[in-house]
Structure 1
Amino acid sequence: MHMQQHAIVIHTPGRGLTDLTSELTRLVTHSGYRIGLCHVFIRHTSASLLIQENADPSVQRDLERLFARLVPDGDPIFEHDMEGPDDMPAHVRSALTQSDLTIPLDDGRLHLGTWQGVYLWEHRHGPHRRELTVTLQGT
């Protein structure tokens, strides 16, 4: 087995999902690995990673509406609001989701399902610069 590690930066426009699938596909293709693993880690506590529906954008809107109901901005229950009313809700949203993903590689491609995409979920309202570490392992 061989390994490669890449640091990538994603600029988010604000709260919502940013599709990472094509960037990860590019890294996998350039690695030359036919079989193995792609591990993605986000180096932040107010954004997260997920694998989700990639065909119908209403899925993303529904996820956002659900999280707005579960963890509303400005909720008086939260003490931590140093960066505004979306500060602590962003941390809670991140805690409820994932900071890393591992995706198998098969025949030189991410082994995702037909309707799956890999997303960075920005939980803050403003734009951010998000750093990811992508580790590829394979042969």
Structure 2
Amino acid sequence: MNLLIIGGSDAGISAALRASELKLSASVTVVVARTGLGKKEAENAGFDPITTSLDTWDHKAYYPNARPMAIRIIGDRPTGRCLGAQILGRYGTEVSKRIDIIATAIYHHMTVPDLVHLPELHAAAEQPMGSRANVRSGVDP
């Protein structure tokens, strides 16, 4: 298994991501990406964090070769502001594209509900059913 780790600093300061790869075996590649603050970091920075997790697909599951992804978003409870995210998926699931979108949202002080309204730059067939509603649930102020 190859493990590709994409790590960034607080997107409010710098949305640039660094990548490194750790080869564990030859069969599967897993991509882990993170941007912004984790829950503990948000608490330490004075926020009242709330998290939501979403298990989804990289595209609609009824199309061939759908691969699972796990997304965790951290928001500020009183304001709804998006503070951070972590995404785990297999290589080829465009984890980096999704984390870049969230990094941009953090940089521009967007709220988690704002993520639901972002235009997406891919075919509708790639959008997992219900993912927008699931991302929004549990984090609205």
TM-score (norm 1): 0.28
TM-score (norm 2): 0.27
Choose 1 or 2 for highest CA Rg. 1
Structure scoring higher RCO (CA < 8 A, sep ≥ 6) equals 1
